[in-house]
């Protein structure tokens, strides 16, 4: 695992302090003592390796403890393909069938976690494939409305201002994007308050992404960019991963 510990407390390479990484959500509730694995329905899901979400110290991510409206990032299903993990702080239900740019339909089943408030999306903009890197991110989760982001709590790509609603399957609210962000299928284990990524749902754009950014991804990830993520996926706060978030 890419982390180390020191005498002041566990710290990863980006200087994340574990106590800062996950704090109890103001609206977090007790984990239901129900021994079940709430697997998502399989309709329309493209399966990849099952990977448990863990923090930079290797400890499981607890959906009940994710800070509401804070953007977390991890890479899945490949080492070079980023995803946003969000706790929206309220239950988000599934929505009507979604349609991809190539006219396929799929059903998004809503959030997971004790409150059904946790969602994950592949954060490769459906317009021109903009994505967050360690240096800069033009695509971000915006909690507050702004002159450009007229609606609060949206994923906004500042390149050409595509905006996606994370509470509704990342459907397109405005801008040139031709389809929603692809969703990441999740299994939530209520007994242990742990969560696993299992596949994608919707219009994944990985082939186009790897073709367009081959050189850049090689610089960022070496030869690993297209390596499958398996067993665990390391989650970080976006502010700890990315040096500069462009706000528009």
> Interface residues with ligand FES (CB under 6 A)?
125, 127-128, 130, 157, 159-162, 175-177
CB of 160 to ligand FES, least distance (A): 4
CB of 12 to ligand FES, least distance (A): 29
**By C-beta, is 20 or 160 nearer to ligand FES?**
160
CB of 166 to ligand FES, least distance (A): 15
CB of 127 to ligand FES, least distance (A): 3
**By C-beta, is 148 or 231 nearer to ligand FES?**
148
**By C-beta, is 38 or 100 nearer to ligand FES?**
100
Contact 83, 73 (CB under 8 A): yes
**By C-beta, is 61 or 158 nearer to ligand FES?**
158
**By C-beta, is 46 or 161 nearer to ligand FES?**
161
CB of 149 to ligand FES, least distance (A): 13
Contact 120, 183 (CB under 8 A): yes
CB of 237 to ligand FES, least distance (A): 22
Handedness of CA 133, 124, 214, 227 (dihedral sign): positive
**By C-beta, is 86 or 157 nearer to ligand FES?**
157
């Amino acid at each position: 695992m890419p982390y180390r510990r020191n005498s002041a407390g566990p710290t990863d390479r980006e200087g994340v302090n574990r106590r800062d990484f996950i704090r109890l959500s103001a609206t977090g509730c007790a984990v239901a003592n129900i021994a079940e694995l709430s697997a998502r329905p399989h309709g329309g899901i493209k399966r990849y390796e099952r990977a448990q979400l863990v923090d930079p110290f290797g400890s499981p991510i607890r959906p009940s403890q994710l800070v509401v409206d804070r953007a977390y990032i991890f890479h899945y299903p490949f080492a070079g393909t980023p995803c946003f993990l969000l706790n929206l702080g309220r239950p988000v239900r599934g929505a009507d069938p979604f349609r991809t740019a190539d006219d396929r339909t799929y059903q998004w089943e809503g959030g997971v976690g004790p409150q059904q408030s946790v969602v994950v999306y592949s954060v490769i903009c459906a317009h021109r494939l903009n994505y967050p890197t360690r240096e800069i991110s033009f695509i971000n989760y915006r909690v507050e409305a702004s002159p450009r982001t007229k609606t609060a709590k949206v994923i906004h790509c500042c390149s050409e201002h595509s905006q996606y609603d994370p509470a509704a399957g990342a459907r397109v609210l405005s801008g040139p994007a031709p389809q929603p962000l692809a969703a990441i299928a999740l299994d939530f284990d209520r007994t242990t308050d742990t969560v696993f990524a299992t596949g994608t749902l919707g219009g994944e754009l990985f082939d186009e992404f790897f073709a367009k950014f081959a050189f850049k991804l090689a610089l960022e990830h070496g030869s690993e960019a297209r390596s499958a993520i398996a067993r665990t996926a390391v989650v970080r706060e976006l502010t700890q991963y990315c040096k500069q978030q462009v706000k528009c």
